[in-house]
Structure 1
Amino acid sequence: MANSAKKPRILQRFNRQWMEEPGFSTWLQPSKKGDTFAFCKYCLSDLSIGCGGKNDIFRHKNTAKHVKSVPSSSGTQTSLEKFVQKDCTKRADILLTSFVAEHNLSMNIMEHLPQLIHKVCPDSEIAKNIACGRTKTTKILTSVIGATDRENILKHIRNNKFSLLVDESTDRGCTKHLCLVVRYYKDYKVTDAFLCLVPIQDGTAEALYQHIVKFFTDNCIPYKDNMVGFAADGASTMMGQYNSLASRFLADIPNLFVMKCICHTFHLCASYACAKLAREPEGLVRDVYNYFNNSPKRSAILKEFQEFLNLKPHKILHPCQTRWLSLRPAVVRLLEQYDALRLYFTEHSFTDRLLTSDNILHMLKNPYNKMYLEFLEYALEIFNNLNRLMQSQRPEIHKLHENMRTTFRTLLDNYIQSPYLMSTDLQAIEFDNPRRFLPIDQIYLGTKVATSIVAAANLESEDIKAFRLRCLDFYIEGARQIRNRYNFNNKLIEDLEFLDPDVIKSRKIQSLLNVTLHFPNLIAAQDIQKLDTEWRHLRNNLALHPEEANEDMERYWRKIISETKPSDDTALYPTLSRLVSALLCLPHSSAAVERIFSSINLIKTKQRNRLETKTIEGLLHTKQFLDNKPCYDIDIDHDLLSKMNKDIYKYS
């Protein structure tokens, strides 16, 4: 008779009920190596239980190694206690470092803070072991927390699509930096992440290009395959047609999406338009601010006039030259305090006997200056509305084209005949043709201006006409600047409106073929039909979930991308999800880079003007790693603790 087949051996698996037994509860836990292993917290080792199961655990319990590692009631420390204490000390060092980074504190504070903790907590072994001075704090910022955040970003953009946002600026220490920010889609949300600061001396397009390419090459980032978008301001070095940073990237990546920052663009449009008005109103805003700035005595006296007129005691705002469209808030504040200012300067023009007071009073008494300010309050809001939208950190590329059309049409509607405006393509409108204008007395200048004209009966008709013509020049120049800087026939940006849930609900887009033609590097030719099939299925599936169309765009696509088939748990729209997750990375402005420069201004102050670029990078990455959490709530995992070793002091 043939021998019977040998029965396969059945391996024992870990039973979680063992952890509740009295002899095992304090040290036994599951192992990360698999179900046929257990882990001893005292010995810090994995036990094989595949053969004997619970008997193997009993045998380990009686070994000399385990008995020696068991915590005793005596004063001697076991290896586990020493390990835990060392681990807690590392955590304390990381928490203190994150505290310094979040609150923009000087590194010198760490020369005293650990000593203070020793005095405050004399009975704590962890507190006694904290030895985190200035040097160690800097190394933790650069080589532990900052390095971890940077590695996480680099790891993601090596394997996924991203957009690059760049800008250059000079800090307080006169060091010129090129700032790199990447926008990518991760965990169903769009993230703008600070990448690095590159110190530069040569600001030419070729030099900037070489710096960026070297960074990508050194960090093994396949930018030619993964980079889908590029955004910067409108400087010729960045966006010139032939010899710029954008033209060099387009030579490497022919289908790259290039976006000139809309916020910078509208700042320039508004600046050029304001130049067509009289210079005196803007000078009035600046002179009034300069008069009260750094003078508590004058501000206190003005407050008395404000209280007398029942006005809120607000300060006069400064119209900054470099801050986008900051003129309108300063104008609104000046109009709010206009009566109090007239009373103040009427009195102080005699007591101060200063030429400045006399000039400001003269400008305040001029009714046309107030009318110009009222006009600016209305007209600049047209630019501000779009500017606020484009500074958003959320993806807004799908709204850009329609909002640009609405803003341009709103501006033209103030002085262009309505039938012609509504029947003509925006790119073809003759915005500077007088035959298309409304009569001069019908041009819309805002309700406050209209009220002032009616109330001021002593104004000359010729002066009013000249005022209206100046405002008309503002409209014409604003329209000219917008048309020169934005192409309303840009089909690429127009086609991206398919991302809007309301557009999906309207069913007006039947195919995504045009989108794939703009981005052939995202969807292969053989997958275009799959994409369209999934798109048409989504349009019809929306009827089952009508409430989703009213949701936020990013939240809506999170549901679509994460949705799976009930049958096999695979993605319901795999091709469409791949396309959308890449398109959500496309930038609509470079405002994220400006936020980094604002953070640098808080970090590199007058008292801390000698910080190295690497330290600034570490501080920025640490702030980013905190992810808007308080410093005491930082996520400290094993990967972060493993970097806390002597290697952080190695020179690099």
Structure 2
Amino acid sequence: MASKKPRVMQKFNRNWMEYSSYKAWLRPSNKGDYFAFCTFCNTDLSIGSAGKNDLFRHTKTNKHINSSPGGSSSQTLLTDLFSNKNIEPVKRGEILLAAFIAEHNIPMNVMEHLPQLLKNVCPDSQIAKSISCDRTKTSAILKNVTGITAKQMLMEKLRNLKFSLIVDESTDRGCVKRLCILARFFESKVEDAFVCLIPLEEATGQHIKKVFSDNKIPMDNFIGFAADGANAMMGQHNSLSSRLVAENPHLFVLKCVCHSFHLCASYACLKLSREPETLIRDIYSYFNNSPKRTGILKEFQQFLDLKPHKILHPAQTRWLSLRAAVCRILEQYAALKLYFTEAALTDHLNADSILFRLNNPYNKLYLEFLEFSLELFNNMNKLMQSERPQIHKLHNNMVTVYKSLLECYMDDEYVSRTEAGLIQIDNPRHYKPIDNLYLGAKVSASLASTNSNTLNQDDIKAFKLKCLDFFIEGAKQIKKRYDFSNDVIKEMQFLDPHVVKSRKINSLVALAVKFPNLISVNELQQLDTEWRFLRNNKDLAPDESEDVETYWCKVTAARDPANYSNQLYPTLSKFVSAILSLPHSSAAVERIFSSINLIKSKQRNRLNTTTIEGLLHTKQLIGAKPCYSLEVDNKLLLKFNKNMYD
């Protein structure tokens, strides 16, 4: 007997959505390929057995007939809604509810119940009764009303202003790799604005060019680019930056200083003993997720009058985490030794091993050295993570950090009299004697204490040699990643109000000629003339507390006394506004990825790229104010009418 043919299940066919009888309500279902979704009934339909016949049978049900726009109950609802005099407040309420969802990263499923809750809380309010905003409509508002409005406002700015792009790649919780693009521009202040997310397997310049062409943004407005140091971003051949430079030869390209300094510190730490870092991780793992152990440690902390701080985790990818973890271990060192002395009596395997390393004086010396040396890298890192413009401070701060590191092991006079880029960092002739190395105040105090008499002199010398290797490697990595002969960044110090006041820069031509896309040859003399007049204008002299943005806004707003409708310094203002938009790091884009991790959580891991973009643009539209203060103007209401009801 022949076996029966296996039953073939019918999958959803997107071509059905083009049929006139199904077009208005048929959508794909999130439940799978064997289901369809009816937007009128807000329900999933099983189509696996009969396909289109299942859809046809559904159109004949009372529920579908009553829910459709031609049905009795739905028709009455729409008539009441559009004839209601309070229709604008209803739309405003729905937009604000969607903004509330975006601001607080709340799952959109909440909107299945929140409108009904409002009706029960405010039974006498006609607006509350008229609000009908479930998860589908909320998602549509975020994407097609608030999100697209914020994006269009941004694109309008990019069409008229000079800007830089800050980009980075990351993979989210759903294992989706995306390229995130931010724009940095100056308009009364420097702003970092989210542009878009692009799912991709490999970043290419075509993605960015498509953003420009789709939004009619002139390529000439694109003047700066920043990213991390990955080969895909900053490689010499066929990288994203090399392709962009091929399209825009005068593009200012900067490798992220924060990423670079993190790598410098990481490579330098490899020259030290690995035992102190392993000790930090083992101590964290010992107390992690153990309330009992943490509680006992608190008793020892109270006994020694120490603050009951938790042990920190030195994450591999966190720029500033290692030094914070080192400082916490040193702060709690006495309490930890007491705790593990007691714990070693019962936990012979883990606690005994940690206690042995805590009692090793050289491990404490290494921790004290790391606390001092990593601060040099972290201070620069913190400065370059600022949202405010720091491009004018970049060179001087790099030189300061670099020479401060060199003076720990090189002759002070040689370092001070030699230009940073010309210092021979690996020439032993300029090294200090091994006993004169500066390893930090705590290390010096520990070595000078009476307890140091028990330390072996050969081991102390080995410790100092490893610290010397740390300094040399750190200096090599900084010199490798930053070009101290780069006059472009060096000359940007003219932006500093104190430099303007000092009158030490006579001309801006040397910098301006490197940006022919900003200042033409015919404008060079006018730029210099305005600069020299500004230096002597006492009415525009900067205050001591005036920051760079406030000062240049004041200069830009200055008017010509002969013709008040004209700027006093038009060419200089144009040039400065462009230079202020240049990036000093790519830290801003990392903040977007942090926001994405809050948006696409374990509970919301099915959000697609379009929805995430809508949420991020809505957050940008809301700004720093709470969502209820969002001004729902005619622009938003027109977008609501066009994209939600058309």
Same fold (TM over 0.5): yes
Kept after mapping to 1: 8 A contact 2:145/2:643: no
Q: Shift of residue 84 of structure 1?
A: 4.7
**What residue is the counterpart of 2:534 in the other structure?**
538
Kept after mapping to 2: 8 A contact 1:396/1:588: yes
**What residue is the counterpart of 1:526 in the other structure?**
522
The CA distance in 1 between the partners of 2:383 and 2:296, in whole Å, is 39
Q: 1:294 aligns with which of 279, 289, 307?
A: 289
**What residue is the counterpart of 1:333 in the other structure?**
328
**What residue is the counterpart of 1:438 in the other structure?**
432
Q: 2:368 aligns with which of 354, 364, 374?
A: 374
Kept after mapping to 1: 8 A contact 2:204/2:239: no
**What residue is the counterpart of 1:427 in the other structure?**
421
Secondary structure, counterpart of 2:271 in structure 1: coil
Residues 1:87 and 2:82 aligned together: no
Matched ranges for 1:188-267 at <5 A: 188-201=188-201, 203=202, 207-223=203-219, 225-267=220-262
**What residue is the counterpart of 1:603 in the other structure?**
599
Residues 1:390 and 2:384 aligned together: yes
**What residue is the counterpart of 2:393 in the other structure?**
399
Kept after mapping to 2: 8 A contact 1:502/1:550: no
Kept after mapping to 2: 8 A contact 1:165/1:230: yes
Residues 1:130 and 2:124 aligned together: no
The CA distance in 1 between the partners of 2:152 and 2:639, in whole Å, is 12
Secondary structure, counterpart of 2:438 in structure 1: coil
Q: Cα deviations across residues 154-186 of structure 1 (Å, max 9, x unaligned)?
A: 111112211011100000000000000000112
**What residue is the counterpart of 2:583 in the other structure?**
587
Q: Which amino acid aligns with 1:366?
A: N
The CA distance in 2 between the partners of 1:398 and 1:242, in whole Å, is 29
The CA distance in 2 between the partners of 1:151 and 1:118, in whole Å, is 34
Residues 1:110 and 2:117 aligned together: no
Q: Cα deviations across residues 120-165 of structure 1 (Å, max 9, x unaligned)?
A: 0000000000111000100111111111110011111112211011
The CA distance in 2 between the partners of 1:470 and 1:341, in whole Å, is 26
Kept after mapping to 2: 8 A contact 1:501/1:550: no
Secondary structure, counterpart of 2:86 in structure 1: helix
**What residue is the counterpart of 1:150 in the other structure?**
151
Secondary structure, counterpart of 2:238 in structure 1: coil
Q: Shift of residue 548 of structure 1?
A: 2.8
What TM-score does the superposition give when structure 1 sets the normalisation length? 0.85
Kept after mapping to 1: 8 A contact 2:147/2:613: yes
Q: Which amino acid aligns with 1:245?
A: L
Q: Which amino acid aligns with 1:574?
A: P
Q: Shift of residue 324 of structure 1?
A: 0.8
Matched ranges for 1:336-351 at <5 A: 336-351=331-346
Q: Shift of residue 648 of structure 1?
A: 3.2
Secondary structure, counterpart of 1:398 in structure 2: coil
**What residue is the counterpart of 1:308 in the other structure?**
303
Question: Measured at CA, do residues 581 and 84 of structure 1 come closer, stay the same or move farther in structure 2, by a change above 3 Å?
Answer: farther
Residues 1:494 and 2:490 aligned together: yes
Q: Which amino acid aligns with 2:285?
A: N
Kept after mapping to 2: 8 A contact 1:192/1:592: yes
Kept after mapping to 2: 8 A contact 1:107/1:137: yes
Q: Which amino acid aligns with 2:211?
A: F
Q: Which amino acid aligns with 1:159?
A: N
Secondary structure, counterpart of 1:548 in structure 2: coil
Q: Cα deviations across residues 465-511 of structure 1 (Å, max 9, x unaligned)?
A: 11111111100000000001111110010111111111111111111
The CA distance in 1 between the partners of 2:82 and 2:242, in whole Å, is 60
Q: Shift of residue 604 of structure 1?
A: 0.5
The CA distance in 1 between the partners of 2:493 and 2:570, in whole Å, is 20
**What residue is the counterpart of 1:277 in the other structure?**
272
Q: Cα deviations across residues 25-59 of structure 1 (Å, max 9, x unaligned)?
A: xxxxxxxxxxxxxxxxxxxxxxxxxxxxxxxxxxx
**What residue is the counterpart of 1:167 in the other structure?**
168
Q: Which amino acid aligns with 1:185?
A: F
Q: Shift of residue 325 of structure 1?
A: 2.7
Q: Shift of residue 274 of structure 1?
A: 0.5
The CA distance in 2 between the partners of 1:418 and 1:262, in whole Å, is 26
**What residue is the counterpart of 1:70 in the other structure?**
none
Kept after mapping to 1: 8 A contact 2:81/2:87: no
The CA distance in 1 between the partners of 2:573 and 2:634, in whole Å, is 33
Q: Shift of residue 546 of structure 1?
A: 4.0
The CA distance in 2 between the partners of 1:431 and 1:648, in whole Å, is 65
Q: Which amino acid aligns with 1:389?
A: L
Q: Shift of residue 515 of structure 1?
A: 1.4
Secondary structure, counterpart of 1:322 in structure 2: coil
Question: Measured at CA, do residues 633 and 143 of structure 1 come closer, stay the same or move farther in structure 2, by a change above 3 Å?
Answer: same
Q: Shift of residue 544 of structure 1?
A: 3.8
Q: Shift of residue 420 of structure 1?
A: 1.0
Q: Which amino acid aligns with 1:473?
A: D
Runs (4 or more) in structure 1 with deviation over 4 Å come to 79-84
Q: Shift of residue 643 of structure 1?
A: 1.4
Structure 2: gaps of 5 or more residues: 1-79
Secondary structure, counterpart of 1:635 in structure 2: coil
Q: 1:454 aligns with which of 421, 435, 448?
A: 448
Structure 1: gaps of 5 or more residues: 1-78
Q: Shift of residue 83 of structure 1?
A: 6.0
Secondary structure, counterpart of 1:438 in structure 2: coil
Q: Which amino acid aligns with 1:404?
A: M
Q: Cα deviations across residues 361-391 of structure 1 (Å, max 9, x unaligned)?
A: 1110001101100100000000011111100
Q: Cα deviations across residues 182-205 of structure 1 (Å, max 9, x unaligned)?
A: 00112x11100000000012x2xx
Q: Shift of residue 260 of structure 1?
A: 0.2
Secondary structure, counterpart of 1:169 in structure 2: strand
**What residue is the counterpart of 2:615 in the other structure?**
619
The CA distance in 1 between the partners of 2:554 and 2:578, in whole Å, is 16
The CA distance in 1 between the partners of 2:142 and 2:556, in whole Å, is 36
The CA distance in 2 between the partners of 1:635 and 1:518, in whole Å, is 43
Q: Which amino acid aligns with 1:325?
A: L
Q: Shift of residue 109 of structure 1?
A: 0.5
What TM-score does the superposition give when structure 2 sets the normalisation length? 0.86
Q: Shift of residue 220 of structure 1?
A: 1.3
Kept after mapping to 2: 8 A contact 1:549/1:556: no
**What residue is the counterpart of 1:13 in the other structure?**
none
Q: Which amino acid aligns with 2:290?
A: S
Kept after mapping to 1: 8 A contact 2:534/2:540: no
Residues 1:474 and 2:470 aligned together: yes
